[in-house]
Amino acid sequence: MKVLWAPWRMEYVSSDSKKGECIFCPGADRSQDEERLILFIGNLSIVLMNRFPYINGHLLIAPLRHVSTLDALLPEEKLDLITRVENSIGVLKEVLRPEGFNIGLNLGKVAGAGVEDHIHLHIVPRWIGDTNYMTVFGEVRVIPEHIQETYRKLLPFFK
C-alpha cells in the first residue's frame, strides 16, 4: 500500500472550532482578514477563500446577513451574490487561468453543508488533469500551491 501524506488536514481534524463564531460573519475588526482569508467585504456580501479547499482558488461567497435559506435572501442580496460570483470568476480566470469551474450551493447538512446556518456558494476552479479524484480514492487533496500564496495573488484583484 502507498501512503499519501496530507499534513494540512491535521489542523482541520484536530481544530477546536470557536463556538458561536461564524466564518461568514466578518465582524468589525479588519485586522484578521488575511488570517481569515477574507478577500472582499461589500455592502451585502463577503468573498473568502476556503481554508480546506478542494483545489487552489476555492472561494466561498456569502451574504453578510446571517441567513440559512435561499428564500430568506432579499432580492438585492440574491443579485449581489450572483454578481460576486461573476466577479470572482473573472479574477480567478485572470490570476489562476482555470479551464472551467464548479459552482455550487449545499443546503442542509445531508447535502454537505459544513456551515448550514449561513448560506454560501462555492466556486471551485478546475483544470484538465487536476487531481480532484484523489479525494475520492485516497481521502487526500492535492493542493499545488500554499494557501497564503494563492491569497496574496488574489487579494489585489478584489480591492
Give the model confidence (pLDDT) of 49-91 as tens digits: 998 888 889 999 999 999 989 999 999 999 999 999 999 999 9
Q: Walk me through the domains of the chain, giving residue ranges and CATH numbers.
A: 36-158 (3.30.428.10)
Question: What was the pLDDT predicted at 114?
Answer: 74
- CA 97 to mean position of chain CA atoms: 17
3-30 burial: b if 16+ Cβ within 10 Å, else e: eeeeeeeeeeeeeeeeeeeebbebeeee
- Note if 66 is an active site residue: no
**Which is catalytic among the residues 58, 66, 118, 120?**
120
Band of residue 136 on the pLDDT scale cut at 50, 70, 90:
very low
Give the β-pairing of 100-105 and 59-63: unpaired
Q: How far apart are CA 17 and CA 107, in angstroms?
A: 21
Please provide residue 114's backbone torsions phi and psi, each rounded to the nearest 5 degrees: -75, -35
Q: Which residue's C-alpha cell is 458561536?
A: 20
pTM of the model: 0.75
Looking at the chain, the whole-number percentage of residues with pLDDT higher than 90 is: 48
Q: Which residue has the higher pLDDT, 73 or 111?
A: 73
